Amino acid sequence: MLEVSNIRVSYRRVPALQGVSFSLKEGEVVSIVGGNGNGKSTTLRAIAGLNPLDEGTITFKGRDLAGMPAHERVRQGLVLVPEGRRLFPRLSVEQNLRLGAFTRDKQADIRDGLDFAYQTFPVLSERRRQQAGTLSGGEQQMLAICRGLMSKPELLMLDEPSWGVAPKLVTRILETIRDIAKRGITILLVEQNVHRALEIADRAYVIQTGRIVMEGSGKELLANDQIRQAYLGI
């Protein structure tokens, strides 16, 4: 479904990604793990079209994304829930959700998305008229994920969904991500919380200083000695 091959991205001439390649099959949950500043977010931003490529190609559903603007990629079914959530704080919860469905014209699709959000997280329904900026960190993350689902994506990319979320809610959010995957949506997850990310992933990649250094199934990597020492502190 997604094929990233040898992409290089730099910020003001400082290289951030130095030839990253990986692929995703339809229906998979794939995690990219690694420490802060190793290029996890940059990878997702490049796929979403927010950062231009210096080199390499990204193909989605067999189509080269070169030259396709970021807003058009959403229409193609490629959605990023960005780092830090990036909600519209002074708009209401429901306005945020409806904006997620900006590319959808059918009222029924929008209704579906709202129903999913409000059934999965009833707290969002209770606060639908409240400004998004007044929600707690966990609630904001729930809203961000649901907003991302509003456009009916085929591939949902999540950047640090556990960031700023209370530990109890992290479990709840990761469970939801699994549920979303069960509905047939392919997931690409980036996390600093390596243990959690490997637990829920079918496959995972380890990224270090802008390069993929290891790959394997979530279970394999969890059992790998190097990973255990470097990231899990065991």
Partner 1 sequence: MTHLTMTMLAQTIVSGLMIGLIYALIAVGLTLIFGVMDIVNFAHGEFLMLGMYASFWGASLFFLDPLFTLPLTALMLFAVGVLVYRLVIRRILAAPMLSQIFATFGMMILLRGLAQFLWKPDHRTVPHALVEGKITLFGLQLGTPQLTASLGAVLVTGGLWWFLNRTRLGTALEATSIDREAATLMGINSERMFALAWGIGAACAGIAGALLSTYFPIFPEVGADFILVAFVVVVLGGFGSVAGAFWAGIIVGEVEVLGGFFVGPAYKNALVLSLFLLVLLFRPRGLMGKA
Sign for the CA dihedral angle at 106, 86, 77, 197 comes to negative
Q: CA-CA distance, 78 to 49, in Å (whole number)?
A: 10
Min dist CB 192 to partner 1, Å, is 21
Phi/psi at 123 (5° precision): -60, -30
Phi/psi at 130 (5° precision): -80, 150
Task: List beta partners, residue 190.
Answer: 32, 159
Q: CA-CA distance, 62 to 215, in Å (whole number)?
A: 23
Q: Is 63 in the site for partner 1 (CB under 8 A)?
A: no
By beta-carbon proximity to partner 1, the closer residue of 92 and 224 is 92
Q: Is 75 in the site for partner 1 (CB under 8 A)?
A: yes
Min dist CB 164 to partner 1, Å, is 16
By beta-carbon proximity to partner 1, the closer residue of 79 and 142 is 79
Q: CA-CA distance, 146 to 149, in Å (whole number)?
A: 5
Q: CA-CA distance, 135 to 140, in Å (whole number)?
A: 6
Q: Is 58 in the site for partner 1 (CB under 8 A)?
A: no
Of these, 6, 26, 66, 90, which contacts partner 1 (CB under 8 A)? 90
Min dist CB 145 to partner 1, Å, is 13
Convert residues 91-120 into a mask of x (bound to partner 1 by CB under 8 A) and - (unbound): x---x--xxx-xx-----------------
Q: CA-CA distance, 31 to 177, in Å (whole number)?
A: 12
Convert residues 137-176 into a mask of x (bound to partner 1 by CB under 8 A) and - (unbound): ----------x---x-------------------------
Q: Is 88 in the site for partner 1 (CB under 8 A)?
A: yes
Q: Is 216 in the site for partner 1 (CB under 8 A)?
A: no
CB 29 within 8 Å of CB 198:
no
Helix (H) or strand (E) holding 117, with range, is: helix 107-120
Please give the residue ranges that form the binding site for partner 1 (CB under 8 A): 48, 50, 69-72, 74-75, 79-80, 82, 86-91, 95, 98-100, 102-103, 147, 151
